Structure 1
Amino acid sequence: MIESLLVANRGEIARRIIRTARRLGVRAIAVHSEADADLPFVGEADEAVCVGPANPAQSYRNTEAILAAARSTGAQAIHPGYGFLSENAEFARTVEASGLIWVGPGADAISAMGDKINARNLMAAAGVPVAAGTTEPAADVAAAVAAAAEIGYPVMVKAAAGGGGMGMGVAVDEAALRTEYDKVRAFAERMFGDGSVLLERYFPRVRHVEVQILGLADGRVLALGERECSVQRRNQKLVEESPSPAVSPELRSRLLAAAVRAGEAVDYRNAGTVECLLDPATGEFFFLEMNTRLQVEHPVTELVHGIDLVEEQLRVAAGLPPTFDPDALTVRGHAIELRVNAEDPKRFLPGPGTIRTWVEPTGEGVRVDSGYAEGNTVTPFYDSLMAKLIVHGQDRTEAIARARAAVAAFDLSGPKHNLPFFAELLEDQEFLSGDYDTSIVSRLR
């Protein structure tokens, strides 16, 4: 097993990785910005190094500072968490070239999946279903208009280098396409340094379902079940659950087999997620993207399978077999995750501030992965995620009941927060039925 691990991230995911590292006897090293010096993950690490000011470009995305911290602390490996440098192929290559272990997939796989057009083409060649769309970037508005005429309106206009729900727009006709193309292209150039734009068929009613994969050290790729991620605002997830209430055994078999093919197509190692769109009317699913990292919502998979995905990541990186029997995976009950964000529960606009009260719910089947504690300040410099409230039950009904009780028991004041939205959602008949789609939040709001 790896002996010392530098966690190149912050907040709840850094704290969560450190927790597993320390349980395994691995020396955990945190890096942090000046703004995060007082957060729990810094104090819980065996060693901590300040890598720069609040601006992520000068701290959490500062590759030279992070590598310098790894050298000065004698770290053997680097875990990037999610976000920041986790899907930066060049950083992965630099880490390995420095003689360190990269806890993630190979740089070639990251690079292959980072370009959404290239990823679509690779998946189609591997026999993974993809929605109708462009096979090369739309060079200009005229090319986009021609492509949309072939695909058929409405179309999704997407940044080829984007991810996390950013850099996307829907066009219902040519006039809207001309506007959305310019907006997405400008956003992509500003955010990703790459203005490439792709077009895909847009499904007005669709579910977002993803599959957790794990590429083992021996070359096998496993599918660890699916997660339902259709409760979203601005194309970004708020709630995830596993198993998906929309997936039948027959559909699950096809979905997991396609995810394994996707991983095998890029010789995938370590943890990753194959994201798909599911048309509930037909049962068809289509490849959306592959996230070449650990997902925010990984705890629901952990709870239904009884495994620690961070431990499995470390084992793969060290060349060790998994802790479980790959041929005897079982699903136990139902899990739901609620992302507790520092944002108002109506418009979901950020609302940072100092935490006056922070009392986490407890009880059977309740888990909280948090990045903050009472007295900490949620700053405007980073993502608004404060904690993940995860519940597990024997079935979906019990999980929802435990989620209701946990939301009611979570005593939080100071920053704005979205717990009132979750209280509303957990009483909503559409959500309770399990027959919902990605537009459910807009109907509630």
Structure 2
Amino acid sequence: MTSLLLPNHDGGTRLYKVRPATSWARPTSPLTSRRAYAAAHVIPEATADNTPGTPARLDWDATMAYRHELWSYGLGVADAMDTAQRGMGLDWAATQQLIKRTGVEAASVVASGNTATAGKTVRDLVSCGAGTDQLDLDSVPEGPAGIKTVLDAYREQIAVVSEAGPKVIIMASRALAKVAASPQDYLQVYSTLLSEVDQPVILHWLGTMFDPALAGYWGSDDVAESTETFLGLIRDHADKVDGVKVSLLDASHEVALRAALPEGVRLYTGDDLNYPELIDGDGAHHSDALLGIFAAIYPAASVALQKYDAGDAANARAILDSTRELGKHIFSAPTFYYKTGIAFMSWLNGKQPGFQMVGGLHSGRSVVHLARTFELADQAGLLSDPALAAFRMSDYLRINGVSA
């Protein structure tokens, strides 16, 4: 059995023995009981600048291979989202390429007839974020001119996603949060966009723990008031809303919102802390999933969903519960650095050549934090090759000054 020394918060180390690999079966037919998208990260070129403020240069082969890995487990991919570092290093030029390339790759999966995705469309396999991050916030005017600027930016990005084939996710907008003076401004923008799209979209409500610039979204700092505005929008345009993705990390709020949605509108949980019980449901309703944590736990998530399909809810829930501590750790405060943990696990599992991230975000977590990520991933059976993961973990600790 492989063992290595892991660092403690007090400056000491402890001997840790790595467990044998867990076998997670890929599905032999499409997942049906829950609709699930894993929000995928992006992998930069190892020799790119990869420092804050520099244009993103992606390792396209590795980035696309990760998406094929997720599809092979029967999951959809949510791309060009906050997990892919939108607004945190991934610029609009690289985002456009990501959307277009992912659309092409999803079409190839549809054409392949893979048993895990049989009968799926491109829109089933991938949804992509459309936002306004091509705008320079300092240059966005106030008042009606600002609202028009935001609308035009959304339209540009929605067109890119629609033309590439994926389902559109209308992301929360920092620019709109800056210029909106009332709930009516939000309703004007979103109602206009929903009246213009020709296919149902997913609406994304992202909390301040993920992006502090989105404070007061939907026109109020009061979540209950914002929820009423949000629900009013959905009820007025239910035929254009496939579902809503809510990332407020508030399970009770999600349960109440889920029950209040119009018939046919899905609640895609974005709660990376409470996803086991939300996906499991309360007997009357359950949440579907559009989760960053699924990019890290996808083999276990897939098997859990296979169990739900087979009517084995108890074991499905147990599998999801077994990943909870890892999810809580990766998404611990400051939550917006969760992407570092996703990329670190990708590297440990051999899915990318180096532990690097666009914009230098690989520096977003401490050595001790990432050592704990390794430990929890191992305990959840999510190190696909424990020997490789231990070797890489040892190298990482050594070059970061942790004594053997």
TM-score by length of 2: 0.34
Q: Which has the higher helix share?
A: 2
Instruction: Looking at secondary structure, tell me which structure has more strand per residue.
Output: 1
For CA contacts below 8 A with separation 6 or more, give which structure has more relative contact order: 2
